[in-house]
Amino acid sequence: MLDRQRLTHFLAVMAHRHFGRAADAVRVTQPAMTKSIRKLETELGCQLFERGRFGAVPTDAALVLERRAQLILAESRLAEAELASLHGGRGGRISVGVGISLATRIMPQALMEYRRRWPQVTVKCDVGNSAELYPRLVGGELDLVISAPLPSVPVDPGLQQTLLYVEEDALVVRVGHPLHSEPPQSLEDLLAHPWVISPEMGMWSKVLKVFSDAGVQPPRDRVETTSSTLAKALMLQGDYMCVLSRDLYHAEAQQGLLAALDFAPFRSRRDVYLAFRRNSPLQTAASNMAWVIERLCR
């Protein structure tokens, strides 16, 4: 069996591409780091790094080992967490990746239901887009991910996805916006008002494509932000518009504050998935979270 400490040292060198910086990161001496990597190379029977003036350059063997090492260490942590939860009644810990649009409605409900049933389990939620979360799931940083990936997001063959429901995207404005009372008839009508966009929410590329396909210049009067909270604040307090998923403005729509425009070019649907590693059994605490999420989405 491969030594966990050596694998940890290997991944540190892969991350830093330098033995000295890797040694500092895991708090060992550089000679100890070098010795650990050499022992791993001897154990595997292959060279993992080319040492040179520009640092440590990974070989093809290192690139193959990297993902396997991440999974081995992740599985080891999961096993320890599950055994800890069985020993002495301790609750354990799970890490969940949450898509930006799912963080405002589905995930809060899931967390409240989960905490009511299993209050002893510590839950860590990381919010981001699917393109950021899926690699972390593959690498073992996350136990599962709930998100609505855009079609352009690659899905690793090592992941399994369970369809939860279909999410709707639309061009959204405040109730009382000039376009709310007089819906736009063309893309040119949309250029008279400011936009708020979020590259991280993944919608701007869709907006650009709609304008480009129609041969119309995209909006220049725009504010860029990575915050959906700020985007909605601008929309509520001004004449800004934004392409949002239904889940992101669900509460404001119920309160009669925001509404979707009946404008077909920006209406689309995306599948919401629960994703997890295909060949890695979920620990009990994570499996319970998956059950709660699926139950809420039925």
pLDDT at 161: 94
275 lies in the same domain as 250 = no
262 lies in the same domain as 171 = yes
- Residue 266 and residue 184: Cα distance in Å, rounded? 12
pLDDT at 205: 80
User: pLDDT category, 146, cuts 50, 70, 90?
Assistant: very high
pLDDT (mean) for 175-179 = 95
14 lies in the same domain as 32 = yes
pLDDT (mean) for 110-125 = 93
pLDDT tens for each residue of 206-231: 888 899 999 999 999 999 988 888 99
pLDDT at 201: 54
Asked if residue 96 lies in contact with residue 121, where contact means CB atoms within 8 angstroms, the answer is no
148 lies in the same domain as 289 = yes
Q: What's the CATH code of the domain at 281? A: 3.40.190.10
172 lies in the same domain as 91 = no
Query: For 241, which DSSP code?
Result: B
Residue 90, pLDDT > 60, answer no
- Higher pLDDT: 89 or 179? It is 179
Query: Out of 41-55, 88-102, 142-156, which region has the weakest mean confidence (pLDDT)?
Result: 88-102
229 lies in the same domain as 277 = no
140 lies in the same domain as 182 = no
pLDDT at 89: 46
Mean pLDDT, the chain, rounded, equals 88
> Domain range holding 209?
167-270
Residues with Cβ < 8 Å from 229, sequence gap 6 or more?
A: none
**Where would I find the beta strands (DSSP E) of 189-289?**
195-197, 222-224, 242-245, 258-260, 268-277
Look up the pTM and report it.
0.67
pLDDT (mean) for 71-88 = 66
pLDDT at 254: 93
109 lies in the same domain as 157 = yes
Residue 106, pLDDT > 60, answer yes
229 lies in the same domain as 293 = no
- Higher pLDDT: 188 or 76? It is 188
Residue 150, pLDDT > 90, answer no
How many domains does the chain contain in total?
A: 3
Taking Cα atoms as reference points, which of 296, 270, 15, 240 lies closest to residue 129? 270
Q: What's the CATH code of the domain at 181? A: 3.40.190.290
pLDDT (mean) for 196-207 = 74
- Higher pLDDT: 51 or 110? It is 110
Long-range contacts of 266-270 (CB under 8 A, 24+ apart): 266/169, 266/170, 266/171, 266/206, 266/207, 266/210, 267/168, 267/169, 267/170, 267/171, 268/168, 268/169, 268/206, 269/166, 269/167, 269/168, 269/169, 270/148, 270/149, 270/150, 270/166, 270/167, 270/169, 270/245
- Residue 74 and residue 91: Cα distance in Å, rounded? 18
Half-sphere exposure of 3 (CA within 13 A, CB side): 13
Residue 175, pLDDT > 80, answer yes
217 lies in the same domain as 263 = yes
Percentage with pLDDT > 90 across the chain: 50
Asked if residue 164 lies in contact with residue 274, where contact means CB atoms within 8 angstroms, the answer is yes
pLDDT (mean) for 51-57 = 82
Identify the domain boundary among 45, 70, 95.
Answer: 70
User: pLDDT category, 26, cuts 50, 70, 90?
Assistant: confident
pLDDT tens for each residue of 224-257: 988 888 999 999 999 999 999 898 899 999 999 9
